[in-house]
Chains A and B, each alone.
Chain A
Amino acid sequence: MKKVVITQVTRARVVTWSIREAFYEPLMIIWMNRKSRIGLLILVFYLLMASIGPYLIPYDPKGNPLEIYQPPSLKHPLGTDYMGRDVLAQIVHGARDILLIAFFAASITVLVGAAVGITSGFVGGVTDVILVNFTRLLMTIPSLPLIIVLSAFLRVADPLSIAMILSVTAWTGLALAVRAQVLALKNEEYIEAARTLGLTKFHIIFREILPNIMSYVAINFLTSMVSAIYASSGLYFLGILPFTAVNWGVMLNQAWRIGGGAALANPMYAPKTLHYILAPIMAIIGLQVGLILLTFAIDEIFNPRLRTEYIKKLESPRGKKEPQKKERDQF
Chain B
Amino acid sequence: MRWIIERLLLSLITIMGSLTLIFILIRLMPGNPIDYLISQLLYTQQMPVDAVMAYVKSYYGFLPNKPIHEQYIEYVCNMLRGDFGKSLLYLGTPVNSIIGHNLPWTLFLLSYSILISFILGISIGIFLAYKRGTKLDSAFTLGLTILNSVPSYIVALILVTVGIFTGIPYRGAYSVEPSFSLEFIANVFHHATLPMISYTLVTFSGWALAMRGSAITVLGSDYIVVAVARGLSKRRILTHYVGKTAILPLFTSLVISLGFMFGGAVFIETIFAYPGVGYFLSTAVAARDYPLIQGCFFVIVISVVLGTLLADIIYYRIDPRVRRGEI
Contacts and interface: CB of A to CB of B under 8 A. Distances in A.
Decide whether A and B are members of one complex.
Answer: yes
Interface of A: 35, 133, 136-137, 140-142, 144-146, 148-150, 152-154, 226, 229-230, 233-234, 237-240, 252, 256, 260-261, 264-265, 270, 274, 277, 281, 284-285, 288-289, 291-292, 327-329, 331
A144 B33 CA distance: 22
Nearest to A151: B285
Nearest to A237: B153
B54 interface: no
A265 B162 CA distance: 11
Contact of B282 (A240, A285, A327): A240
Contacts of A142: 260, 263-264, 300-301, 304
Contact of A331 (B150, B228, B266): B228
Given A140-B308, A238-B267, A260-B157, A288 B132 contact: no
A230 B151 CA distance: 6
Contacts of B17: 137, 141
B29 interface: yes
Nearest to B270: A238
20 contacts: A137-B17, A144-B264, A145-B263, A145-B297, A146-B18, A149-B285, A153-B26, A153-B32, A153-B33, A230-B149, A234-B267, A252-B153, A260-B160, A270-B164, A270-B165, A291-B149, A292-B149, A329-B133, A331-B234, A331-B237
A285 B151 CA distance: 8
Which one of A149, A252, A277, A284 has the highest number of Cβ atoms from chain B below 10 Å of its Cβ?
Answer: A149
A285 B154 contact: yes
B173 interface: no
A208 B1 CA distance: 40
Nearest to B296: A145
A284 B154 contact: yes
Interface string B225-268: 10010000010010000000000000000000000100110110
Contacts of B165: 270
Nearest to A266: B164
A160 B47 CA distance: 40
A292 B145 contact: yes
B25 A153 contact: yes
Nearest to A150: B25
Minimum-distance CB pairs A-B, first 4: A145-B263, A142-B263, A152-B285, A153-B25
A189 to B, nearest CB: 25
A177 to B, nearest CB: 16
A145 B281 contact: yes
A238 B281 CA distance: 11
Contact of A288 (B11, B150, B267): B150
A207 to B, nearest CB: 32
B18 A141 contact: yes
Interface residues on B, range: 35 or more
A228 to B, nearest CB: 11
Interface in B13-70: 13-14, 17-18, 22, 25-26, 29, 32-33
Contacts of A256: 157, 271
B286 interface: yes
Contact of B10 (A136, A154, A230, A237): A136
A329 B286 contact: no
Contact of B133 (A229, A277, A327): A327
Contact of B286 (A35, A240, A291): A240
B281 A239 contact: no
B288 interface: yes
Contacts of B11: 140
A328 B150 CA distance: 31
A234 B224 contact: no
A256 B151 CA distance: 15
B219 interface: yes
Interface in B124-141: 132-134
B305 interface: yes
Given A149-B297, A265-B164, A238 B154 contact: no
A281 B157 contact: yes
A292 B14 contact: no
A250 to B, nearest CB: 13
A238 B161 contact: no
Given A140-B304, A141-B18, A234-B267, A328 B146 contact: no
Contacts of A289: 146, 149
A281 B263 CA distance: 23
A238 B149 CA distance: 19
Contacts of A148: 266, 281-282, 285
B157 A234 contact: no
A154 to B, nearest CB: 7
B153 A260 contact: no
